[in-house]
Amino acid sequence: MSCDKIDNPHKPYTPSGGGKTVLIKDFTGARCINCPAAAEMAHELQHQLGEDRVFILSVHAGFLAQPMGNFPDFTTEEGTVWYNESESNPLFTVDHVALTDGYALYAEQIDAPTSDALVEPQTFEVFIANNYDESSRLLKVESEVTAVSDYLGEVYVTVCLVEDSIVGWQTVPGGVDKEYVFRNVFRGTINGVDGDIYSDGQVYVNDDYIYKYNIELDSTYNADQCYIMTYVYDKAKGGKILQTAMKKVK
């Protein structure tokens, strides 16, 4: 895995018209009986507000995400760090704000924070370019982050691998669904739990960086259902996520 940060400070910024986006992190587990209904609520909210503006990342962490028998293991080191000492699943964060206060949100509490986050001023724009080689399973990722306005903060960029539509065992009311479809499963970050730094101080409009990574896709992952998710966050503000983008690997 390699990463290059390329500074293009003189590149003019042209708005894409996408606007502010929001990331809902769903902390879940295959042995969590209430998690399927909570995930459904989050996806319904995403459908209502726009699937191109609201993104969901299903992070399997905590006791109920630990594998047992035929239940899948989707746990990750990064997910465990994010989850930390939170309560039992299902729990959510909206643009990671809730975790900064030492608690997380329940599914019925995410509506207002998500709507509010969508109307926040957009400070960054994110573009993703993926190049995947089928034979070698080598994936080349470029995530370009451009400042839409001046910004002061400790800005980092996190790049995640996400796999959708994985079939496996899930605890549900009344028993176990052995053909449950897991959505937006977080497979891990490409650039570490904290990501890569963008700026540790003043950011100026049109500041532009490209982050490049090369990874080999795990042989057990379905490349047709894999995505790259990139989000920009302010570490000085407790990890507040400022913008998110997502693009299919293929």
The torsion angle over the Cα atoms of residues 201, 11, 208 and 132, rounded to 10 degrees, is -170
Average pLDDT over residues 9-25: 66
Q: How high is the pLDDT of residue 244?
A: 97
96 has pLDDT over 80: yes
Average pLDDT over residues 19-36: 95
Task: Please tell us whether the domain made up of 4-248 is placed in CATH 2.60.40.10.
Answer: yes
Average pLDDT over residues 141-167: 97
Q: How high is the pLDDT of residue 86?
A: 66
Q: What is the C-alpha to C-alpha distance for residues 56 and 111, in angstroms, rounded to an integer?
A: 13
Residue 148 C-alpha from the chain's centroid: 21
14 has pLDDT over 60: no
105 has pLDDT over 70: yes
15 has pLDDT over 70: no
This prediction has a pTM of 0.91
Q: What is the C-alpha to C-alpha distance for residues 244 and 20, in angstroms, rounded to an integer?
A: 8
Domains of the chain, residue spans: 4-248
Average pLDDT over residues 222-229: 97
Average pLDDT over residues 107-127: 94
11 has pLDDT over 70: no
CA distances from 24 to 27, 32, 186, 200, 241 (A): 10, 18, 12, 25, 10
Q: Which range, of 11-20, 66-75, 121-130, 240-249, averages the lowest pLDDT?
A: 11-20
